[in-house]
Structure 1
């Protein structure tokens, strides 16, 4: 396995952080884990420190305040790249991204620059979502795909693997989206850098502990920004080489 770093951003994930780290360590024992905590008031950062003390493969990056998912990932990418990791993984702390499916994504990353865990390709699925949540997610992906001329099916999904090569080509200093729009912005930069982007089917599971940070206002703001990008020509002028799904054997 390449030198892999699994990045887990946290904000008030006290009930989830221990179990999710344990599942990651069991699924990919050779990988390292970086918890990026945005000064959670519920004590998540303290629990992260305890995990670090008990496992040399676990690290923590304490941020001073809650500044958005994108800011957390960008700082974590810089941390990982400066330490020579070959593969950097995005994974949610709430259990919606199954660590048990990470080996399949990493296998696909052996021949791809960017691997996206996809809910909306054949074999992908969502568990425990009401119809309106599913419609909102699929609708956001379809709208973004059309207006930005993207080929990928799940443009808002956050379970991803980036190669070191990809992140160095993507001009991360130009990423200015910190919230829900961050995943779309990252994909758009990957496409514009003509990277090989592959989607692998995953099962997305709604969280059972803690509260979701998603809201209608956040989605509306993201779609407004996507619309602006489309109208001002930021969309992909020529799509990167892409595949709808990878045959991972799992």
Structure 2
């Protein structure tokens, strides 16, 4: 019996990427649903998704009134998945930096592991980015591992899988982190609740269209959260 699977992404100004993103998922020909939260993109992203939604009942679109952030979008998606009794919740970026064709690998691994993260930094993985971005990402993940003591090569990508029937002591709404730092904070919360991280290799590509939305203050926010985790760990 196949597991009930929800694939989730959050969008803002992804009109140049969302068609291929959806086409790739739909080409998999596997039983899954798609939930997209769009933060009222001015470039027509939600209109494109709506055109797909009219053809495919498996697609659900939630359009929010303003840009409310990645953390709140992912928390909404997680809550939606649990409320609608999904077994697996898989998240990824809509800008095609994550290849949707790898989704079956996540589903296969979720049969045996409660949490999966796609890693660029293990055997079989690849970081196909501009050197400056690669260096920032590589050193950032190394620093997080060093300070946190968590044995993972990857903390910051959103390409993840959650086995909701196994993660009984984890609730994404409890993750106290904003923006992109939220992804690191989610791993901290999982570890604190006794779960093990399973990494599978992915190829991460720089977006071909649009622009990166990582704010300039994200490094500061990440370091602050990392030091808070270290302090909390030392006090246990």
TM-score norm. by structure 1 comes to: 0.88
2:140 match: 140
Secondary structure of 1:18's counterpart equals helix
Retained in 2: the 8 A contact 1:140–1:223?
Answer: no
Unaligned runs of 5+ in 2: none
Aligned to 1:2: 3
Q: Which whole-Å CA distance do the structure 2 matches of 1:168 and 1:55 have between them?
A: 31
Q: Name the residue aligned to 1:62.
A: 63
Q: What aligned pairs does 1:73-222 form with structure 2 within 5 A after superposition?
A: 73-127=74-128, 129-222=129-222
Distance 1:32 1:225 in 2: 33
Query: Where does residue 245 of structure 1 map in the other structure?
Result: none
Deviation of residue 200 (structure 1)? Answer: 0.2
Paired with 1:235 and 1:26, the residues of 2 have a C-alpha distance of 48
**Is the CA contact 1:148–1:235 (under 8 Å) kept in the aligned structure 2?**
no
Q: Is the 8 A contact 1:7 1:35 kept in 2?
A: yes
CA distance in 2 between partners of 1:235 and 1:216 (Å): 29
Return the offset for 1:235: 7.5
Deviation (angstroms), 1:66: 1.0
The 3-state SS of whatever aligns with 2:155 is coil
Aligned residues: 235
What is the CA–CA distance in structure 1 between the aligned matches of 2:208 and 2:130, rounded to whole Å? 14
The separation in 2 between residues aligned to 1:35 and 1:62, in whole angstroms, is 8
The Cα offsets for residues 19-38 of structure 1, whole Å up to 9 and x where unpaired, read as 10110111253111111111
TM-score (norm 2): 0.93
Gaps of 5+ in 1: 238-250
Between 24-33 and 63-72, the greater mean CA deviation after superposition:
24-33
Q: CA deviation at 1:168?
A: 4.0
CA contact (8 A) 1:67 1:178 kept: no
Name the CA distance, whole Å, in 2 between partners of 1:149 and 1:47.
43
Distance apart, 1:236 and its partner CA = 11
Superposition RMSD on alpha carbons, in Å? Answer: 1.8
Q: CA 1:97 to 1:209, structure 2 compared with 1: closer, same or farther past 3 Å?
A: same
Q: CA deviation at 1:195?
A: 1.9
Post-superposition offset of 1:165: 2.9
